[in-house]
Every structure is written in C-alpha cells, then in structure tokens.
Structure 1
Amino acid sequence: MKINLYTTVILSALLGLTACNNQSADSETEIAIPVSVEELRPGFIEQTINTTGTVVATKEATLTTEMAGRYTLATNPKTGKPFMLGDRVNQGQVIVKLEDEEYVNNLGMQSKELNLKISEQNYTKQKSLFDKGGVTQSELSNAEVSAVNARDSYELAKIQMEKMNVRAPFGGVITQLPYFTQGTKVTSGTEVVSLMSYEKLQLEVNLPEKYINQVEPNQDVRVMNYTLPEDTLHGMVRELSPAISTETRTFTGKLSIDNDELKLRPGMFVQAEIVLDRKDSVIVIPKEVIISNQRGKSVFVVEQGTAEQKQVTLGYENQDKVEITSGLKANDRLVVKGFETLRARSKVKIIK
C-alpha cells in the first residue's frame, strides 16, 4: 500500500513538471507574424466628387453652299493635297470653291472697280476745286454721292463673289466631307463639310443634391478616360444650375476641359473628379487597412515588436485614401500588409 502511494506521488510530480516545461516551450516558441509597415509622414488629401459623362465639342458647324456652281475641293497647303477627313483648318480658310462664269460676269467686278476709281478721282478733283472756289457745294456733294455709291456697289459685288467660297468660320478639324466629283454642279444649300473645334471640350454632368452648396464655378476638375490610363486632363467648373430636379434629386453642372493636344475626342465617355477642398500636412492612410467593428474604426501599428490596435477617427476621404484626424501621429509604423491575421499584442516580424 505504501509503495503504491509513493509511486502515485512520483508520477504526479513528473506529469506536473512535463506540463510546465511544455507551457514554457510554447511561450518561448510563439510565432511572429510577418507584416509590412509604412512610417507615417504628413501629406495632403483632397475632397472630391466623382462623376461621369460624355464630352462634346465646344464649337461645331455644318457648312452649306450659298450659291450654285461647279464644285472644287480646295487644296490643303500643309499637305499639298485636297482637304481630307481629320485635316485641321484655320479660321477663314477656304475649304470648297464654286465656279460659275455667267454669275461672275453678271457681277461686273472689273467695271465696278473701275467706276469706283473714276468716282473717287472725280471727288478728289471737285474737292480741290471747291477749296479754291471753282465749284459749288452742290457740285462737290454730287461728286461725293457718286463716289459713295460706286464704293457700295463694288463692296456688294465683292460680298456676292465671296459667296462662291465656303470658308471655315473657326479653326477646327474636318469631321465630315461628303464626296462630290470635282467640277460637278451643286445647288445652293448643299452640305459640303462639317467642322468641330475640340481644343476645349464640354462635359455636362448631374451632381447629387447634397453637394449644391459645395460645388462652385472655377473649381478644379481632373478628367480621365480608359483609353488614356496614363494621362489626366485638367479643366474647371464653368456653369452650375441653381435648380434641383424633383425626379433625380440632382443639379446640372457644365465642366470645361482643356484638350490642347486633342487626346480626347468628342463623344468619348470619361470620368471626372471635381476638387471641392484640399488639406495639407495631415495624416493620410490607405482605406484598405482600416478595420471596422462594433467599437468603430481601427488600424494596427507596430510598437517594440508587437502589434497595437489603435482606434481612429476619419476625416476627408477619396477613392483610395482617408485622412486620420485622431488616433495616429507622424512616425507611427502603420501595418499595411498582414494586418488581417493580427490581434492586439501579437508578436510581429517586419518584412519589406
């Protein structure tokens, strides 16, 4: 009986020692979780509104003939060839010419020009004689009337002659050019060319009602298009409607976009960011590292080799980042990778 009791005590002691050794070993071999950190530095963040829409040209026109005549497509001096789709033209440049000898002959340009010269010379002579007392005031006035009438007649003929040319009313790009055989007679009112100017583009957008007191004319705008992933164009808010739609609870805004290099084309679908405000020298972190729970928003930082969970308060935010107004400070080491498996006071190993 004594032997059995002694044996039981010894076994109990051994089991207790083994358990203590295992617990100590587990404590010493706690695995450090690999994480990546980012040392916080003051930065900036903008409050923006994201919107989408289709850009349109600020100027466009379809030009028609004012007179009938034989069609001739003018030569582009830059290429030495007749104008083509996509060619750029300057304001006032002739794109299409019409020819009609009978019409030109009836205008009598040469006779009207000669009559103008004779009338002006006669007026000059009569004025000189009037100054010397050689003619009466009535004779001078008649000479002046003749000169004015001759000038008006000549200018009217020039206007009528100019109608034989189709000129660009503004600098732009040829977007449509219906084909006509050179020398074919076309009637007046025939559409012969369409132009667009899109060095400046316009984007009409519908903005949520809650922003009506925050969006203002002249605010900066950034514009992106999926075909230009590396390029961001800039513009500004140009016009705002003060009325809110009762159906959509939105208000209309018109944005002006700088497109000097013609990277965007009219009709393209774009995404625009209106910059409402900007804060500098603030703590800004990626949105993806924020953990949401019943207690609010939190993130993990590394302090002396362990993970510390910090409750944070958010400020401005955009698509990717958010301002932290409390809970973090400059030089904190924010966990940006590996935070998903962390718990408070977890041991961590920092990796790059």
Structure 2
Amino acid sequence: MKHIKLLILLGVVVAAISCNNQTGSESTELAVPVSVENIRLKSIQQFVSTTGTAKAVYETELSSEIEGNYILQTNPRTGRKFQLGDRVEKGQVIIKLENAEYLNGLNIESTKLNLEISEQEYEKQKSLYEKGGVTLLEMRNSEVSMISAKNNYESAEIQLSKMQVVAPFSGVVVALPYYTEGVRVSAGESMVSLMNYNKMYVEINLPEKNISEVTTGQEVMITNYTLTEDTLVGHVTELSPIISDETRTFTGKLEIDNPELKLRPGMFIKANIITAQKDSAVVIPKDVIMTGSRGKYVFIVGRNSAANDRRITTGISNQDEIEVTEGLSANDRLIIKGFETLRDNSKVKVIL
C-alpha cells in the first residue's frame, strides 16, 4: 500500500513538471506581431536643403523722362486701360505724355526733310565725282552734311520716344501709380513697374561643409508652402568660392523655371539641391535601421516566419530614406514595424 502511494505521488510530480515545461515552451514560441514591406528597386536622391526668397530675373521701374500730360493707354488684350496684373509685350506703349511745346521744339518734320535733301545732294555729288564733275573735297563735304542731318534726325526721334513709356521686355504690370487722366506730370515721376517671372532666381547661403558637394549646373527641386502639390525645377547657376569668416557660409544663386507663373516674386521657397542620385537601388526607410556592436542592421522575415537580422552597408541618403549597398536584395521582406524588441530568429506574425 505504501509503495502504491509513492508511485501515485511520483506520477503527479512528473505530470506537473511536464505541464510546466510545456507551458514554458509555448511561451517561448509566441510570435511577435510585425508589419513588413517588400523591398523594390527604386531611385534615391541625396540633396542639400536651403531656403530663400524668389525674385524675378527681369524687373524694372519706368519713370517719365519729360514733363507732359498723362494718358494711360488701352490694353489691346482686354479692351480697357492697363491695370495691375496685365501682361504686356516688349515694345508695347503703356503710357503717353502729351506736350505740344516739347513736340514743336523737336522739329521732326524739318529734320526729316533736311535728311532727305542731304541724302539726295550726296548721291548727286557722288555721281558727279565719278564723272569728274566735282572734286573729292566737294563730295566729302556733301557726305558730312548728310551724316550730320542723319544724326540730327535720329536725335530728334530719340527725344520723341521720351513722350511714350514703352515696355522694354514682355512681362506683367506689378505697380501702376494712379494719375488723373490728362494731368501734368513732371519728369522723373514713377510711371509703371514691370516684371517677367517666367524665370526666377534665389540668393542662397550654404554651410561651409557643403562647399565640396554643391556645384554649378546641379538640378534643384523647388517647393513652396502654398504650392504643396507642385515642384518646380531649377539649377545652381552661381557659387562664391569663398567662405564668410563671420557666418561660416558661402553664397550662391539658383535659377528657377516658372513657365506657368505659379511661383510669384517674394514667395519664400525651399530648395533641395540634388548632389547625388542612384537609379534601381535598394532603398529603405532610415528609421528601421538598428545599430549594434557589429554595425548597422535591420530585420527581415525569413523562413518559418522567423525574424533574421541582416548586417547592412549604406550609401547615399536623404531626410527619410537611405540606400543599402550590401546586405539586402530586392523582394526581401523588410520589417518596418514591431522590430524594436526582436532578436535574430524571433518568431513573428505578419499583420497589416
């Protein structure tokens, strides 16, 4: 009877131990929930970021060159007087200044007639000289008279042009001071300001550390907080070769293509200067990389739903992504969430 009790007690102890071992084994096999991303080859750009204010490449303020009565012209595009925001073409007359006294003083008709007479006289003297009818001196004197008459006429035309305010380039009216129609304005008064911002530029300052990687000709991606869906393309056009001993920066200039006029003068922009680019590269998010005693590593889902750590070597990078040159391949299942507590060969369960 005593032996039977001992056997029963021994069986209970063995069963308890076995149960405990089975529970522990099951706990070690619990799978960690993770999210994965299949690695695909894609392009990556490395860039230097900077900011600045966009300015028009072409801009001017036109003033009156003479005194005269102010007459704002009609815009043929709209059929009304010119207004702010109107487009103008190169050579288009925006404002006229009427001044009868000034116009009479130019003697345009008489100087033009004098030029015609001088030209006819020169041709006559030239013909006679070829026939031996006049001396070389007489022909040359007629040529001098003709040249003088021509200069007088051209000078009069230049003075006449001052009675008009003409667009020196195609652009947009950005300032148009108000004057009552027909009122007398003095010489030197501001008449109109024009800008052409199909192309724009930005003056930049870059840290000393970037002087070896930023060069002229590099492409620049331009964004603005009011144009969140649009990225414009520009280029580095100028760079200073010296470093400021006060700011430890160097200056440069970017030129931006703005064909649809989405970017406006005065807008604050962000510019990403592309300093390196790779196509068909293994690219992963920066924030999934772990660092240990043996360097950088990430986790992928391997066989039997186990996490495998992969030591990696990295290449170019930007704010969010980085190129992996060794350690990963296309179609590897990279763990992007839930990797923080993993170890090599940890059981994982992939969730959405």
**TM-score, normalisation: structure 2:** 0.91
Q: Secondary structure at the match of 2:336?
A: strand
Give the aligned partner of residue 194 of structure 1. 193
3-state DSSP class of the match of 1:339?
coil
Equivalent in the alignment of 2:306:
306
Q: Please, what is the CA RMSD of the aligned residues?
A: 2.2
1:7 is matched by which residue type in structure 2? K
Amino acid at match of 1:326: E
Counterpart position of 1:17: 15
Deviation per CA, 1:70-94: give whole Å up to 9, x if none. 0111222211111111122222222
Q: Distance in 1 between matches of 2:207 and 2:271?
A: 14
When structure 1 is superposed on structure 2, of 106-115 and 289-298 the one drifting more is 289-298
Which SS does the other structure have where 1:245 is aligned? coil
The structural deviation recorded for 1:202 is 1.3
Q: How does 1:150-189 map to 2 (within 5 A)?
A: 150-189=149-188
Q: Distance in 2 between matches of 1:8 and 1:240?
A: 93
Higher mean displacement: 222-231 or 324-333: 324-333
**Structure 1 position 98, deviation (Å):** 0.4
Q: Tell me how far 1:297 sits from its aligned partner.
A: 2.7
What secondary structure is seen at the aligned counterpart in 1 of 2:312?
Answer: strand
How many Å separate the matches in 2 of 1:91 and 1:8? Answer: 113
1:133-282 to structure 2, matched below 5 A, reads: 133-282=132-281
- The percentage of counterpart residues that share the same residue type is 54
What's the counterpart of residue 7 of structure 1?
5
AA matched with 1:41? R
The corresponding residue for 2:69 is 70
Unaligned runs of 5+ in 2: none
| CA displacement, residues 68-126 of structure 1 (integer Å, 9 cap, x when unaligned) | 00011122221111111112222222211100111111211112212222222222233
Preserved CA contact (<8 Å) 2:197 2:265: yes
The range that moved more, 172-181 or 247-256, is 247-256
Instruction: Tell me if the contact between 2:276 and 2:316 (Cα under 8 Å) persists in the aligned partners.
Output: no
| Ranges in structure 1 where 5+ consecutive residues have no aligned partner | none
TM-fit CA distance, 1:134: 3.3
- Structure-2 separation of matches of 1:211 and 1:146: 65
Q: Which moved more, 1:118-127 or 1:46-55?
A: 118-127
Structure 2 match to 1:339: 339
Q: What is the SS of the residue equivalent to 2:109?
A: helix
Distance (Å, rounded) in 1 between the aligned partners of 2:319 and 2:264: 26
Aligned counterpart, 2:112 = 113
Equivalent position amino acid for 2:106 in 1: L
22-31 vs 62-71, which moves further = 22-31
Distance 2:282 2:135 in 1: 92
Structure 2 CA distance for partners of 1:137 and 1:221, relative to 1, 3 Å: same
Are residue 98 (structure 1) and residue 97 (structure 2) matched? yes
Structure 2 match to 1:36: 35
Please state how far the C-alpha of 1:327 moved relative to its aligned partner: 2.6
Can you list the C-alpha shifts for 1:265-284, whole angstroms capped at 9, x where unaligned? 11111111111122334321
Aligned residues: 350
Give the residue type in structure 2 aligned to 1:235.
Answer: G
Structure 1 residue 22, shift from structure 2 partner: 5.1
Shift of 1:295: 5.2
Shift of 1:223: 0.9
| Higher deviation after alignment, 20-29 or 334-343 | 20-29
State the alpha-carbon separation in 1 of the partners of residues 328 and 136 from structure 2. Answer: 95
